[in-house]
Amino acid sequence: MRDTSFAHGLKRGFGILVMLLLLGFALLPILWTLLLSFRPTTHLFEPIWDSPRALTFDNYRSIARSNFPSALLNSFITAGSSTLIALLLGVPGAFALSKRRASNKFFASWLLLLLRMAPPVGFVIPLFLIYVQAGLIDSYLGLIFAYTSLTLPFVVWSMWTSFNQIPDELVEAGLMDGATLGQTLRLIVIPAARPGLVAAGVLSFLLAWNDFFFALVITRADTTTAPVAVMNFVSYASVDWGAIAVAALALTLPIVPIIIVANKYIVQSLGGAVKG
């Protein structure tokens, strides 16, 4: 009995050690970037033990004086707006595709998959030409529409999967009780598919938040997003690695609380859980 208990404890300890090593390996780039953000230019690539006191806030001051904070705000505005629009349009669309009896569902599923898997470069040239004619270059509206073209197919596809897990009897019971189709969706179906809804919203926000290509082509000085603004710290003569490290942290840290709060719902969604 003791041998079994000892073996179980040894196995558990080994598993914890492996997880800690993997966690440390995953956190190493973030810790290194954090350290790099406090290092002066003259000590950037020196080992920390050679000059442990060579720390400065100059990189943070340089970021604060640049246009990067406004670019970070632009990223929040455009990514948040496109996610909201994608949810408002995609959730009813996914519900209709999931519960409506139609013969063209197979075609619709492949069309959604095509839109989801198509690279942005396939859309950006015609989109740019349209935007030039419509005067939407360097505008919030133009960038939000471009991001919605990325996030909307993802929301419909993921929510379609979530709604398929909800029994049709639940929808029919709501309709038989006198609720309209909209009320059934809002009061019964969406609460039941809450994990999938949260996961779709968070992942759509990250999809728009991390976009570089659309923002590079469509934006100019007024609506530059944070991923594009990082390029301002790279010049022909030099690269401001300290400022880039601060910018990388600024791009990463704001979304950490969102991931932490939504983590439970994302796990439930990936596991196919539906709240009954």
Phi, psi of 152 (to 5 degrees): -65, -50
**Greater pLDDT, 84 or 120:** 84
Mean pLDDT is highest, among 39-48, 191-200, 224-233, 254-263, for 224-233
Percentage of residues in the chain having pLDDT higher than 90: 30
Q: How far apart are CA 151 and CA 208, in angstroms?
A: 7
Class level of CATH domain 67-270: mainly alpha
Q: Can you tell me the distance from the alpha carbon of 276 to that of 271, in angstroms, rounded to the nearest whole number?
A: 15
Give the model's confidence band at 106: pLDDT under 50 very low, under 70 low, under 90 confident, else very high: low
CB 61 within 8 A of CB 225: no
Give the Cα separation of 193 and 198 in Å (integer).
Answer: 9
Assess contact for 265 and 194: CB atoms under 8 A: yes
What is residue 53's three-state secondary structure? coil
d(CA 88, CA 184): 16
Residue with tokens 């929510």: 159
pLDDT at 74: 95
**pTM for the model:** 0.84
Nearest to 76 by CA among 228, 208, 266: 208
* Nearest alpha carbon to residue 56 among 67, 41, 70: 41
Residue (of 233, 259, 260) closest to 246 by Cα position = 233
Hey, what are 124's tokens?
């950006």
The span from the CA of 234 to the CA of 98, in Å, is 48
User: What is the C-alpha separation between 28 and 34, in angstroms, rounded?
Assistant: 10
CB 209 within 8 A of CB 75: yes
pLDDT tens across 142-195, in order?
Answer: 999 999 988 998 898 888 888 888 888 888 888 888 888 888 888 888 888 888
For residue 83, give the nearest of 249, 260, 210 by alpha carbon: 210
CA distance 152 to 88: 9
Residue among 128, 153, 124 nearest 139 (CA): 128
Please write the tens of the pLDDT for every residue from 239-264: 888 899 999 999 988 888 887 877 77
